């Protein structure tokens, strides 16, 4: 387990079943840490992985090629986009 040197000035209370508590106690024992430290690290690791999965875009080779092609060879702006750009410029000059 990682050594967590962050200050602990917040409290997080929750209720769990006896089965889950026994499971966490056993896992903490196996990891050589306290139940609290085990739960904090487990929650932090899971939360970090979940957020990273949501924020990262993973493409297969075909998707990568389509994306890179769109960046390097963008289509010409159509009339609607040109009008929107002109409107933006006129409204944001002042």
* Sequence ranges of the domains in the chain: 61-91
pLDDT for 93 equals 79
Q: What is the mean pLDDT of residues 50-65?
A: 94
Give the span between the Cα atoms of 1 and 32, in whole angstroms.
8
pLDDT for 6 equals 66
pLDDT for 52 equals 94
pLDDT for 94 equals 61
Q: What is the mean pLDDT of residues 66-85?
A: 95
Answer yes or no: is pLDDT of 1 > 80. Answer: no
pLDDT tier for residue 3 given thresholds of 50, 70 and 90: low
Q: What is the pTM of this model?
A: 0.58
Q: What is the mean pLDDT of residues 22-51?
A: 97
Closest among 83, 70, 68, 12 to 42, alpha carbons compared? 12
Give the span between the Cα atoms of 3 and 19, in whole angstroms.
27
């Amino acid at each position: 387990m990682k050594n967590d040197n962050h200050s602990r000035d917040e409290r997080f209370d929750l209720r769990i079943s006896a089965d889950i508590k026994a499971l966490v106690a056993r896992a903490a024992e196996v990891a050589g840490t306290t139940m609290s430290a085990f739960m904090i690290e487990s929650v932090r690791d899971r939360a970090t992985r979940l957020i990273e999965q949501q924020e990262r875009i993973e493409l297969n080779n075909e998707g990568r090629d389509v994306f890179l092609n769109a960046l390097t060879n963008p289509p010409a702006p159509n009339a609607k986009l040109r009008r929107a750009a002109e409107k933006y410029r006129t409204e944001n000059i002042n």
